[in-house]
Amino acid sequence: MNQRFRNSILTLVCGALVAANAVSQEQQAQPDSREKYRKCALQARMFDGYCYVSMVDLIANPELFDGMKVLVTGYVHVEFEGRGIYLHKDDFLYGITRNALWLSETNSVDLTKCQDAYAIVRGRFIAGIGGHNDGWTGALDSVAACQRINARRG
Quote the pLDDT of residue 105: 82
Top pLDDT among 18 and 138 is at: 138
Question: CB-hemisphere CA count at 13 Å for 90?
Answer: 0
Quote the pLDDT of residue 129: 72
52 and 69 share a domain? yes
Q: How many CB atoms lie within 10 A of CB 106?
A: 17
105 and 39 share a domain? yes
Contact partners, residue 111, CB within 8 Å, separation at least 6: 76, 78, 83, 103, 143, 146
Quote the pLDDT of residue 80: 85
- Segment 72-79 shows an average pLDDT of 95
103 and 50 share a domain? yes
Name the pLDDT band for 77 (thresholds 50, 70, 90). Answer: very high
- Segment 117-136 shows an average pLDDT of 85
* Stated pTM of the model: 0.72
19 and 65 share a domain? no
Domain region containing 21: 2-30
154 located within any domain = no
pLDDT at 149 over 70: yes
63 and 81 share a domain? yes
99 and 143 share a domain? yes
114: domain CATH number? 2.40.50
25 and 54 share a domain? no
23 and 57 share a domain? no
pLDDT at 2 over 60: yes
Under 8 Å between Cβ of 110 and 138: no
Distance of CA 132 to the CA centre of its chain: 21
Quote the pLDDT of residue 114: 94
Quote the pLDDT of residue 145: 94
17 located within any domain = yes
153 located within any domain = no
109 located within any domain = yes
Pairing of strands 117-130, 69-77: antiparallel
42 and 15 share a domain? no
DSSP 38-96: THHHHHHHHTTT-EE--HHHHHH-HHHHTT-EEEEEEEEE--TT--EEESSHHHHHTT-
92 located within any domain = yes
Range of weakest confidence among 34-38, 51-55, 57-61: 34-38
Quote the pLDDT of residue 120: 96
40 located within any domain = yes
* Count of structural domains, the chain: 2
Range of weakest confidence among 7-21, 102-116, 137-151: 7-21
22 and 98 share a domain? no
Under 8 Å between Cβ of 44 and 86: no
Which H helix or E strand runs over 1?
none
59 and 22 share a domain? no
Q: How far apart are CA 113 and CA 147, in angstroms?
A: 8
130 and 74 share a domain? yes
DSSP character at residue 131: S
Q: Give the closest residue to 143 by CA, choosing from 127, 126, 129, 128.
A: 126
Q: For residue range 86-117, what is the model confidence (pLDDT) as tens digits?
A: 999 999 999 998 999 999 888 889 999 999 99
Quote the pLDDT of residue 138: 92
